[in-house]
Amino acid sequence: MGQCLKGLGNVLEMMEDYAGALQKLKAAYNIFDKERYDLGKVQCIQSEGEVYCKLRDYPASKERLEAAYKLYVLLDDELGMAQCLQSLGNVLSLMGDHAGAMEKLESAYQSFDAINDQLGQARCLQTQGYVLRISGEYTASIEKLDAALKAFEKTGSQEGMAQCLENMGHMLRANGKYEDARKRTNEAYKLYSKVGNKAGKAECLLNLAYVHMAMADLKTSAELLTEGKGLFEELEDEQGAAKCIRSLGDVCTGQGEYHKAADYCEASFNTCEKLQYRLGMALALRSWGKALLELGQLIVAWTKLETAYIMFDALDDKLGMAHTDAHMARLLLRQKKRKDAKERVDAAVVVYKSMSCEYGLRDCQDLLVELGTA
């Protein structure tokens, strides 16, 4: 009976019924505990860790996976240990601990290599590529993702291929290659659709919205964000929905609807604060500050932008800091503080150059023209 309950838990996880999955897994654990079947117990703990990760409860996920890893060590189960290390790397990356994530993923890769598990190795490469991307190390990220994509193609993992293509789409967008970004993200969306991954589809819709926003196609961007928000809400993913709401605020700012934009950003911030999602809070504050700047509320706008900058700094998000520097420079220009504005632009340029962020550099060039120093 324990095996059946565990299997049902895994099926419910794939069906995105996470509450039902946890219920079955806990029931299976209790049966295995009575039977003193240690392998069954540790597999339940590991699966619970994976479910909590999908629920974005990263501390709970980390706790479960660390417990599972220790038990696999006692059982001398190399595959279980490698899988837990890989999952821990993923969770740490989502918690913003990039150095810790890379350490776990490298250990997992070596463990999978020792037991000739090519799919496990591919997953490690893919996650390493993601971590390097969000750290702004685009060249190293592309190398990892290219290697992962080839490995996933070899093993026939469509979901793995989709994840690689999705990450490539993000990088191409950051480098200003919008058509290529749209193509890669659409390919990822189609693969996610084939394997029934709604969460992956929702993330692709969000990235496609960013691409269209960068191309000044705000109408299409708003449509994609609305569709993505609906999908995130269907999945009961408050964090994903909050990202869409904040981005709808950015669209409204671009359309001159500043009061509406501020309302969207405030709603996104409140949700992220409730979820203790620090990156989301910082992004919402920055977007909120942009809207308030356009409304002429310079003091309040500065407070939002300054708080966002401090939060990005705490997260070691250099790109986030650079974007915020650029917006703070605009505000300083409104206040005729040209020297301070120039310092902010110069700081942003250094980061954008180091990360080959083309759209950021173009934005700074426009600011330098306004400053008369281009």
pLDDT, residue 61, reads 96
Could you tell me if residue 235 is inside a domain? no
Could you tell me if residue 168 is inside a domain? yes
Say how far apart CA 333 and CA 314 lie, in whole Å: 26
Query: Which of 169, 188, 214 corresponds to the end of one domain?
Result: 214
Check if the beta carbon of residue 243 is closer than 8 Å to that of residue 268: yes
pLDDT, residue 10, reads 87
Could you tell me if residue 334 is inside a domain? yes
Could you tell me if residue 348 is inside a domain? yes
pLDDT, residue 138, reads 79
Could you tell me if residue 261 is inside a domain? no
pLDDT, residue 15, reads 84
Q: What pTM was computed for the model?
A: 0.79
Could you tell me if residue 351 is inside a domain? yes
Query: Tens of pLDDT along 175-192?
Result: 888 999 999 999 999 999
How would DSSP label each residue in 152-221?
Answer: HHHHT-HHHHHHHHHHHHHHHHHTT-HHHHHHHHHHHHHHHHHHT-HHHHHHHHHHHHHHHHHTT-HHHH
Could you tell me if residue 288 is inside a domain? no
pLDDT, residue 38, reads 92
Query: Which of 214, 242, 269 corresponds to the end of one domain?
Result: 214
Structure tokens at 188: 């990822």
Nearest to 351 by CA among 301, 316, 305: 316
For residue 150, give its domain range: 143-214
> Which parts of the chain have pLDDT scores under 70?
374
pLDDT, residue 280, reads 94
Q: How far is CA 232 from CA 165, 219, 235, 306, 318, in A?
A: 20, 20, 5, 30, 28
Q: Per the structure, how many domains does the chain have? A: 2
pLDDT, residue 374, reads 54
Say how far apart CA 93 and CA 257 lie, in whole Å: 35
What does the DSSP 8-state code read for residue 226?
H
Could you tell me if residue 113 is inside a domain? no
Check if the beta carbon of residue 262 is closer than 8 Å to that of residue 291: yes
What does the DSSP 8-state code read for residue 374?
-
Check if the beta carbon of residue 108 is closer than 8 Å to that of residue 124: yes
Check if the beta carbon of residue 364 is closer than 8 Å to that of residue 345: yes
Query: Which of 214, 233, 267 corresponds to the end of one domain?
Result: 214
Structure tokens at 198: 């709604």
Say how far apart CA 117 and CA 147 lie, in whole Å: 15
